[in-house]
Homo-oligomer: A and B are copies of this chain.
Amino acid sequence: MNGSELTVKIKEFLTPQSESVFPQRRPMGDERFGDIVLRFRDLQYATKLPDAAIIGVPQDIGVNRNFGRTGAALAPDAIRRAFYKLTTFAGKTTLSADKFSIVECGNITVEGLSLEEIHRRQEQAVWLLLKAGITPIILGGGHDIAWPNGQALAKIDASYGVLNIDAHPDVRPLDAGKGHSGTAFRQILENKENPLPTGAFVEFGIQSFATSVFFLDFLRSKQARIVFYDDIRRNGFDTSVRDVFDYLASKARSLYTSFDIDSCASAYAPGASAPSTLGFTAEEICRAAYIAGKNPAVRLIDIVEVNPNFDADNRTAKLAAIMMAQFISGLAERKFGIN
């Protein structure tokens, strides 16, 4: 597949990105992600496919169905604005368009569509990217977007696994057959069409006083692994992250990592649909994003539940942007074989 073929196939699911999220070019030498990212309109001319793709899902229908605070629909552009201003210096590497190509695909079309119709479009777009060997970085939106993300990967590789980094398990029962921002991992675990390999689902960061035994019991009945927040604090963050990736490597070949921003403490991530008092530091979640980027099995990530309506001077959008940058720098190191 080349850029032209991919463009033809994927464009029906997408709404073009407004240019307003890209910063004006800076004085000489000061390159930003906004300078190196491939605009979707130029993908058709690309002879080589990009390494990674950014797609937003600007809706909070699932959050609303779950009686949460709406606002996540605004997250993709808020995160992009912060991300495209970041410089491309990444410590061990410097990102550049020729060595590591990232395409900004814009958003999944949501206008006037039901959550289910949006999810269908999202699943197909993500599936197309995965099939083309591109790593999708999906910006929610509510955590409901994990359901189509999981399905897209499942259809690419039956040996797939899911890591949810979250304060909450998000395995609520569906409401009159309809999913929402609290149901995605139940949908994935109960899906008969594309069954998850046994044990290939991990909840990472589940907090006391933020879930019910009812849901933990459901998870155990599905052979899911639960890594509690308290245990992560006891064992150390880095060790815990590496352990969980080692574990998943023994269960599945292709991994999807979902980052719920409320896995972070509200001091670092105030702009969340449901902010958490306790939780990871900005430092920690960025390290997890970097580790996910380097991990050869990770093929897809998302960052969900950022809520600009409750943010403080874009602190949370900036955190998500740095997470993206860290993930991408990990991906680049993976590609270049840097250790």
Binding site for B on A (CB under 8 A): 27-31, 86-91, 94, 172-173, 175, 208-216, 228, 230, 233, 265-268, 270, 275, 277-278, 282-283, 286, 310, 312-313, 315, 318-319, 321-322, 325-326, 329
Closest to A206 in B: B89
CA distance A312 to B312 in the complex (A): 9
Q: Which residues of B contact A313 (CB under 8 A)?
A: 266, 270, 275, 310
Whether the pair B173, A214 counts as a contact (CB closer than 8 A) is no
Q: Which residues of B contact A216 (CB under 8 A)?
A: 89
Q: How often does this chain occur in the complex, in copies? A: 3
Q: Which residues of B contact A30 (CB under 8 A)?
A: 172, 212, 214-215
Max chain B CB contacts within 10 Å: which of A89, A91, A315, A326? A89
Q: Which residues of B contact A213 (CB under 8 A)?
A: 88-89, 94
The distance from the CB of A151 to the nearest CB of chain B, in whole angstroms, is: 24
Q: Which residues of B contact A270 (CB under 8 A)?
A: 312-313, 315
Choose from B28, B90, B233, B277 the contact partner of A318 (Cβ within 8 Å): B277
Q: Which residues of B contact A266 (CB under 8 A)?
A: 313, 315, 318
The distance from the CB of A240 to the nearest CB of chain B, in whole angstroms, is: 15
Whether the pair A215, B29 counts as a contact (CB closer than 8 A) is yes
Whether the pair A325, B87 counts as a contact (CB closer than 8 A) is no
Closest to A266 in B: B315
Closest to A32 in B: B212
CA distance A271 to B312 in the complex (A): 11
CA distance A216 to B90 in the complex (A): 12
Do A230 and B31 form a contact, CB below 8 Å, given A313-B275, A315-B270, A325-B209? no
CA distance A205 to B283 in the complex (A): 14
Whether the pair B212, A87 counts as a contact (CB closer than 8 A) is yes
Do A27 and B89 form a contact, CB below 8 Å, given A94-B213, A277-B322, A278-B286? no
CA distance A172 to B212 in the complex (A): 45
Whether the pair A89, B325 counts as a contact (CB closer than 8 A) is no
CA distance A275 to B315 in the complex (A): 8
CA distance A319 to B173 in the complex (A): 29
